[in-house]
Amino acid sequence: MEDETGIANLVVWAKVFEANRRAVLSASMMAVRGRIQREGDVVHLVAQRITDLSADFASVGSRDAAFPLPHGSCDQVRNGSSGPDPRDLPPKGLRTRDIYIPICTSTQSR
């Protein structure tokens, strides 16, 4: 699996596989809920529940509205939002200034 943070291995133990066999073998898109395990740079998502999202995937191109997403990040859902998502704010200490860059014209370049 891969997302904006990097690559993770999906581990599906036999018991979980058997309970979710149909979704694992036939889904075009699936959601996986589980436990994250990290060892250095190696990340594993150990599956606990797998959900078939094939119907949602099939309708992506014909939707009038945006694809339904959870309300906020996992931390916001679990702990409640304390304000705007800090990932949407500009970095602290970033200063901007106006910079004038003259555009060369044919008379200026001669």
Output the tens digit of pLDDT for each of the chain's 110 residues: 887 878 899 999 999 999 999 999 988 888 999 999 998 889 999 999 999 988 888 877 776 766 555 555 555 555 555 566 666 665 565 555 555 556 655 555 44
Domain count, the chain: 1
- Indicate whether 70 belongs to any domain: no
Cα 53 from Cα 42, distance rounded (Å): 27
Per-residue pLDDT, 28: 87
Cα 54 from Cα 31, distance rounded (Å): 10
- Indicate whether 34 belongs to any domain: yes
- Indicate whether 26 belongs to any domain: yes
Per-residue pLDDT, 57: 81
Boundaries of domain holding 48: 1-60
- Indicate whether 88 belongs to any domain: no
pTM for the full predicted model: 0.52
- Indicate whether 96 belongs to any domain: no
- Indicate whether 2 belongs to any domain: yes
- Indicate whether 66 belongs to any domain: no
